Each structure stands twice: as structure tokens, then as C-alpha cells.
Structure 1
């Protein structure tokens, strides 16, 4: 007489090992180890992608399929394949919805929705995002972290559509929610976002105050700290407080060397503060720094030599900026800086 387990496996035409997920346990462990590693390389990500695709292929049921797709999306995202990651996470979201509705289990819904908000923002394409945000507002009405992320997503949407004041409202709403979590990094990033929109609406004193608080919060998180320091110096320049801007630049110059793009931006700001082109020139010649930041150094040097009446050097840097039709000379006003 067949056991109940044998009847199930026979009815589904699968082996007992597959039903119990014993055949994929080791692969799942290997995949998670690769995803959690701090020493990820192109080779390890390629290995992780292969394993993730294998696990998706054999996955049974909404739970196994949903989590397998989520992990596949994580790898695609790490490989900067944002469109592919977005499509994969949308498929995972279908499973998450079923699990939530049938079993009142919202764990996968929470994980995948957070990931989807990242790809909406990275792709700057927001079709159907309101449906996702409404689902999250309803499913997690008391979850401060989720509500902080939905506000952050709405902030980016408003910004992309040119609604700066609305974006600022959502930035403060996101800050309010993240303050409830006690997560210092998230709080600091939210302060940086709010300060950004205060800067854009020319409320420089408020922007500087927020950034000063953010710097205090993330002294142990260097990359986030570099963002706050760069924006703080930029805001101090707008306030005309060049002496304080120079002190801040000196304080964090050594630390910034570990982050070439932030080092480059701080050196460009140093040219503005000290009225000396040498610092931006160093950035323009440094191949450790991304092309985007080197282009900013050209903008800066163009402005510098143009202001000094040195038309020959100004024109040479103008040409290095490719004389693009959308080029604006006031590089500090560029949002990407």
C-alpha cells in the first residue's frame, strides 16, 4: 500500500527529493553564499546566475518559484541588468501576491516590492508603479521602513516629472518614516535627499543644517559620509562661507581618496573654494575617476578660465566638454553633481 507521500509524488510525477527540495538544498546554499559575499567578481556573479537559472527551472509551487525568481533578479541587478531584473521581479511579485492572498504571508511581498522600487528608480520608468505603491500602503500600513521606501519612490517620480516642491514633500515624508526605524544610514540618506531639494529651492541654510546632521550620523559609514560631505561643501559655497567649506574639504580629503569619484568632486569644489584651477586639473588627468566626473572638471575649468578672461584656455576646455547643445556653464547647478 502506497504511503501518502508516494501518492503525492506519483500524482505529480516527481521524485521525493524534488518534493522535499533535497535536490536543490546545496545549490541554494551556494547561491546565497555567492550573493552575500563581499568579494563578488564577474566570474562569481556568472556562476551565481547559472545556479539561479537552474533553480528557477526546477522550482515548484508559488513559494519556491517566487524566492527563486527573487534571487535571480538580485543577480541581474548586481550585474546592472536593470531591465532584466525588473522583469524577473515582476514575475516573482505574481507569486508573492498569491502567497499573500492565500496564506496571509507577506514576507516575499515585502522583499520583492522593495527590490522593484529600486529598479523603477534606476530605470526612471514608472509605469504601473502606483499599483505597487498602493499595494504596499495597504499591506504594510504600520511598517515604517516600507512606507519610507514608498515615499522615496514617489519623491523620485515627482523629481523626474519636474515637480520639485512635491518631490521635497515626499523627501521629508520619507525622512519622517525612516526616523522611526532608528536606522542611522537610512535617516542620513533621507536627510541628504531633503537637503538636496532645499538646495534646489534655494533654501541653503536649511540644506546646510540637514547635511551637518547627516554627517554626524554616518561617521562610520564612509561612502554615505562622502555624499553628505560633498553636498555640504557645495551648500557652504552657495552660502558664501568659503572658509568653513575649506575646513571641511581639508578634514575629509584623505578619506575621500578611497572613493575616486567623491575625491574628484571634492577636488573640483576645492578649485571653486580656493580659486585655483590646479585641483580640477588633477581630476581631469586622473583615469581613476569616471568620465562623468572628469567632464565636470572640464566644466569647472571652462568656467574658471572664462571668468579670468583667458579665452584660449576657456575654449580648449569648452571643446573637451564636446560643446554639447544642452551644456550649461554653471556646473554646480547640475543635479548630477
Structure 2
């Protein structure tokens, strides 16, 4: 006898949902194999296999039975129970990355009489960071399957990182990496979660100066992105930085140029220009000033529409020109940049250009201006050093000792000022 089932609507589910069901079955162990689940919902194993591949529709009553067999609700199976929380978390993370929208987003989410003082004191970012952690913890606790766990632990790491809880962030990202790597191993098309986690681990491992561990992970996942030039470029750049930190200059050079070549495959001018800039900075640090100059000159034209990046590239280019003795050209570019940049919009860059103008013109006037106002302590230290060098060259012992006495508490370095990170 054939019975009529109560709900016979055929559902068209996404491949993500089909994969999610399979992931949860695998996570639950052998007792939840396709054969076991098929028996519980009263269909053949072959039929269930076809349905989980999207070859045949799953009926609503079958979805309910699958959820029941897995001991979860249909809402949890479909992730509809957490969709609003995920949207809120995405909104918070987006706002934290963009200060211009932070306050409006925070007001929309959190404003009340109880939080009005926090908004008055511009502490709304703290409210968002705490809320992000609360949501991320909730999502992690209920996550099922490697896909959801990879995403939830990655988001948890971000929430911890915003709160400066760096060890917990690192631990969460390592858990996310384990899940994302397992997903990529099984489904080669699912590389996005893996790359998202790796991006965060690159920051974390670099901050911890654990370059060997980072290098091992990057080498382990490099094959996943061999056909993705942009991501191949990012990975090679990270490997270049690691090699350079370890003093492996030849290997670093190979990775920098591999990164540049990968970005050239993208045919995206902005990304290529950034890669040219990074490689030029490496050549500068190696003392290969002529090569560095050539690379900067290739990079600058396609940065015309990207103000901040153009100024940074120009600054580094001017360091190279000064190192080559082309001070007049450098001074002209620096003066032009100072006229365009404005001191308020990008204060730190403005101060760096101001200091470099004294260096290019062999004139203490501009460096002395920096000492008369508030500026970054690192810049001020470099200003004292430059002024002592300039007055020493002039044989002006009075001015030399004047700035030595002013600067004696901040410490000194014998490195060439042009190679200092603060410049």
C-alpha cells in the first residue's frame, strides 16, 4: 500500500545546504552515515545520495525527517535561526573598518538612554566590539559542520582581535584554519574560507614574529591558490616578508618578484602598482637604488587615482632619489606633495615629507619646524638626529650641542635616516 505523505512540496536547496547536511552527518560519525540516515527517513541510500548531490529534489517532509534524524531543528539545519545575528555581526565588522559609518551604525544598533553617555564620549566603538564578541561566541557555540565552524571561529578571532585579546584571537584562528583546511581538502572549489582565515593568521603570526610557523602554513596551502593570481600574489608577498625577516635575502627576492608576476597576471593596474611599490621598497632596503628607482617609476602612473597610496609611493621614491644623489628632483617632488597633501588630512605623511625636505635641501629649517608642534615621537626623534647631522657638517658645534641636549633622553641610532621605519 502507498501512503500519502503530509507535505509533498519539492524544495530546491542550494549546494551549500546539501553540503551542510553531508558535513553534519560526517561530523556525527558512522551512526549518521548515508545508509543509516536513509533507513531512518525510509528511502534508499542511492536516493538519499542523489538528493544530497542536488540531482533530485528533497521534499519538505524529508528535510524535516533528516533534521530529526540529526537531532537538530530545520531552522538550525538551514541556518535561518542565526541569519539575523550573522547580518548584525557583518554590519558591525564593516563599521569598525570604516570610521565614517561607525557612529551611525552604533546608534542604529545600541542607542538608548542607558548608552547615551557612551555616545557623548565617542565610546560607541567599544559597544560594537563587545557586541561583536557576544554574537561571535553565540554563533561559535551553535555551529555545525566544517563550513559553519570555519566561519564562526574566524569571526570569533576577529572579535577578540578588535578587543586586543590577541592570544585568544590567534587560538580561534587556528581552530578556524583546521576546519577551513579540511573543507578545502574535500571540496577544491571551497577555497574562500581558507583564504579568509589565512589572511588573519598572516597578521597574527607576523605580530608574534613566529615566521617559521607562518611559512609552514603558507607553503602548505600554496597549491590551493596556484590558479588564483591575486591570492598567489598575496601569499608570495607574505613569504617574501618572512624570508626577509629571517635574513634570507635571495629567497626574499624570488618571492617578491613571484608576487609581482602573479599580480601582473591579474591585469589590474592598482594591484600591479602596489606590487611594484613593494618590490621597489625591497630593492631599496638591499641598496639597489637604480633598480628601486625604475620600479617606483613604473608604479606611480597607475596610482594617480589613489591619493594615499600615491603619496606613500612618492615618499619612498624620493628616498631612492636622495640615495642616488638626485636631491633637486626629490626636493621638487616633496615640495609639490606638501602643497597637495595638506597638514590636517594626513598629518603623519605631511610630517614625513617635511623632514625629507630638510634632508633633500640640506637645510635644517623644515626639520626645526617639526620641533615646534605636536608630531609623532618617532618623527621628532628623526628630526633631532637630522639636525645634529646637518649642524655637524656645518661645523656649528653650538647648534649641534643644543639639539643633542634636547634629544639626549630619546636615544640614538647609527642607521641612515632614510632606512628608518618612521620615515
TM-score (norm 1): 0.88
The CA deviation at 1:226 is: 2.0
Contact 1:299 1:329 in 2 (8 A): no
Q: Does 1:170 align with 2:266?
A: no
Q: Which moved more, 1:315-324 or 1:89-98?
A: 315-324
Does residue 220 of structure 1 match 2:312?
Answer: no
How many angstroms apart in 2 are the aligned matches of 1:166 and 1:98?
30
Tell me the SS of whatever aligns to 1:162.
coil
State the match for 1:198 in structure 2. Answer: 283
| Counterpart in the other structure of 1:93 | 177
Name the residue aligned to 1:26: 84
Residue 267 (structure 1) aligned with residue 267 (structure 2): no
Query: Residue in 1 aligned with 2:323?
Result: 238
Indicate the residue corresponding to 2:235 in structure 1: 150
What is the CA-CA distance between 1:170 and the residue it aligns to? 1.9
Deviation at 1:80, TM superposition (A): 5.5
Q: In the comparison of the two structures, how many residue pairs are matched?
A: 335
d(CA) in 1 for partners of 2:128 and 2:397?
Answer: 51
Cα distance change, pair 317–90 in 1 and its aligned pair in 2 (3 A): farther
- The alpha carbon displacement at 1:268 in A equals 0.6
| Alignment check: 8 A CA contact 2:289 2:320 kept | yes
Q: Radius of gyration: which is bigger?
A: 2
Match of 1:255 in 2: 341
Instruction: Judge conservation of contact 2:381–2:410 (CA < 8 Å) in 1.
Output: no
CA distance in 2, matches of 1:26, 1:336: 44
Check conservation: 1:281, 1:297, Cα contact below 8 A: yes
Q: Does 1:49 find its partner at 2:49? A: no
Equivalent position SS for 2:409: coil
Whether 1:73 and 2:131 are equivalent positions in the alignment is no
Query: Structure 1: which 5+ runs fail to align?
Result: none
SS at match of 2:304: coil
Partner of 1:291: 377
CA shift, 1:294, in A, is 2.5
**Equivalent-residue separation in structure 2 for 1:25 and 1:181 (angstroms):** 34
Shift of 1:125: 1.8
The farther-off stretch of 63-72 and 74-83 is 74-83
Shift in CA distance, 316/244, structure 1 to aligned 2, threshold 3 Å: same
Instruction: Provide the rounded CA distance (Å) in 2 between the counterparts of 1:306 and 1:29.
Output: 61
Query: 2 CA distance for matches of 1:268 and 1:129?
Result: 36
| 1:125-160 superposed Cα distances (whole Å, 9 cap, x missing partner) | 213223322222222222212221221112111211
Report the Cα distance in structure 2 between the residues aligned to 1:333 and 1:20, rounded to whole angstroms. Answer: 55
Separation of aligned partners in 1, 2:329 and 2:195: 43
Distance 1:13 1:198 in 2: 59
How far apart are 1:260 and its partner, in Å? 1.6
Which deviations, in whole Å up to 9, do the C-alpha atoms of 1:181-202 show, x marking residues without a partner?
1333332222122212222333
2:397, 2:356 → 1: CA distance?
22
Closer/same/farther in 2, CA of residues 272 and 47 from structure 1, 3 Å limit: same
- Whether 1:107 aligns to 2:192 is yes
Asked whether the 8 Å contact 1:114–1:146 carries over to 2, the reply is no
2: distance between equivalents of 1:130 and 1:279? Answer: 43
Q: Residue 76 and residue 317 in structure 1: after superposition, are their counterparts in 2 closer, same or farther (change >3 A)?
A: farther
Cα distance change of structure 1 residues 266 and 25 upon mapping to structure 2, 3 Å threshold: same
Match of 1:211 in 2: 296
